[in-house]
Amino acid sequence: RAAEWQLDQPAWSGRLRVTAKGKTAFIKLEDKTSGELFAQAPVEQFPGIAVESVTDSSRYFVIRIEDGNGRRAFIGVGFVDRGDAFDFNVALQDHFKWVKQQSELAREAESPAQGPKLDLGFKEGQTIKLNIANMKKKEGAAANTRPRPAVPGDLRLLPPPPGGKSSVCPSGERPSSVPAPAQLPGTPITDSLLSWPQPAAAPAAADVWGDFAKASG
């Protein structure tokens, strides 16, 4: 607890810098005028035992300092401004976040085959939809070959039935087969009986009344 310290009478006052060498961060306490090193605390893990926050304030910490000869001591440090304490925390977090990223990249470079494999196979029941632009042209060509529906007044000739002659009515319908005319006894069937009667020639202009002159009674 920072309340248990003699905050009104600090043993030392100066400036604090955070530096890094490789994966290790260093908390350096220096004289604010000359820059002379007073003590430093190497940090290999954060959060960890090298830096701990107090329970009753966000501006005070306990750090483990070392002299390079194997001797260590835990001292309490505090910041006058709360923003400086926040920057101190962020500097340590950013450094060890970078250390973690570098370690992950090194592991991936050493064993790339152990990474997740991409499965491009179709699952059971899975389908795929293809949108091909040429399909529209083929569908349009097929639509042109379809028979057009009959419209009123559209006359079409139908093929004759097997073994018979074809005849077409003006309405476009094929009539049923016409039975052959019955043959009278002693009268041969000739083409003249099946032909339409020819209209009689009109009388000449000079003989308009000839029929009346020759009429009897």
**Per-residue model confidence as pLDDT tens digits over 99-117:** 999 888 888 887 765 556 6
* Interval 124-172: pLDDT, tens: 778 877 777 766 555 555 555 565 655 555 555 566 666 655 454 555 5
Is residue 170 situated within a structural domain?
Answer: no
Is residue 97 situated within a structural domain?
Answer: yes
What pTM did the predictor assign?
0.48
Q: How many Cα atoms are found within 13 Å in the side-chain-facing hemisphere of 90? A: 6
Is residue 13 situated within a structural domain?
Answer: yes
The more confidently predicted of residues 209 and 27 is: 27
Is residue 152 situated within a structural domain?
Answer: no
Is residue 154 situated within a structural domain?
Answer: no
Is residue 77 situated within a structural domain?
Answer: yes
Q: To which residue do tokens 């202009």 refer?
A: 205
Is residue 187 situated within a structural domain?
Answer: no
**Number of folded domains that form the chain:** 1
What are the strands, taking DSSP E only, across the chain?
Answer: 15-21, 24-30, 37-43, 51-53, 60-66, 72-78
Q: Which contacts of 69-78 are long-range, i.e. CB under 8 A and separated by 24 or more positions?
A: 75/39, 76/2, 76/5, 77/16, 77/29, 78/2, 78/5, 78/7, 78/10
Q: Greatest CA separation found in the chain?
A: 171
Is residue 20 situated within a structural domain?
Answer: yes
* Interval 1-44: pLDDT, tens: 888 888 888 889 999 999 999 899 999 999 988 989 999 999 98
Domain limits for position 46: 2-109
Q: Identify the CATH number of the domain in which residue 7 sits.
A: 2.30.29.30
